[in-house]
Amino acid sequence: MLLVVGMFAFGFALVPLYDVICDITGLNGKSSKLLEASTGGMGVVDEDREITVYFTGSVAAGLGWEFRPVVSKMVVNPGREYSTEFYAENELNADITGNAVPSVAPNQAAKYFLKTECFCFTEQTLLAGERRDMPVRFVVDPALPRDIDSVALAYTFYKTADGAVAASY
């Protein structure tokens, strides 16, 4: 019985341990800098360097949304802040709440891709049939390794645990 309880506790301990390892290494495109960042202290804009940023969007099964980037790519200079938008539409006849999970590829670039504003920071509720453009503001850190000349920012929207919202607005 003690062994079963120990294995159960170990399983729960792996989740935060995995998150810490991903945060430190940038594994799977995760980084604490990816969640919320400030451009303060970024330094000067590297006018001589161009990075191509690709955008993709997808939804998990059962969400009932259309979700895609408004533009599929941008050419940016490291150190300068840029903005883009993602389009979301609730295709169902019910209000749905979702949460976007970001990912950056290649993994090494995750800690150099800094978002200052993003719909992924909070849950998003779309009313039945609602359409919305969702902004993202970002900076590519000039310290991005020179051998990386393109970065992909991908979002997957998942339905939140309760998914639907009571109609009390």
Please indicate whether residue 7 or residue 162 has the higher confidence score (pLDDT): 7
List, in sequence order, every residue forming a beta bridge with 48; answer none if it has no partner.
none
Q: How far is CA 143 from the centre of its chain?
A: 20
List, in sequence order, every residue forming a beta bridge with 87; answer none if it has no partner.
68, 133
> In the chain, pLDDT over 70 holds for what percent of residues?
75
The residue ranges of every structural domain in the chain are 2-164
Q: How confident is the model at residue 13 (pLDDT cuts 50, 70, 90)?
A: low
The fold adopted by the segment(s) 2-164 is Ctag/Cox11 (Pfam 04442) (2.60.370)
Cis omega before residue 69 (within 30°)? no
User: Residue 54: what pLDDT?
Assistant: 97
Q: Could you say which DSSP state residue 72 is in?
A: S
pLDDT, mean over the chain? 81
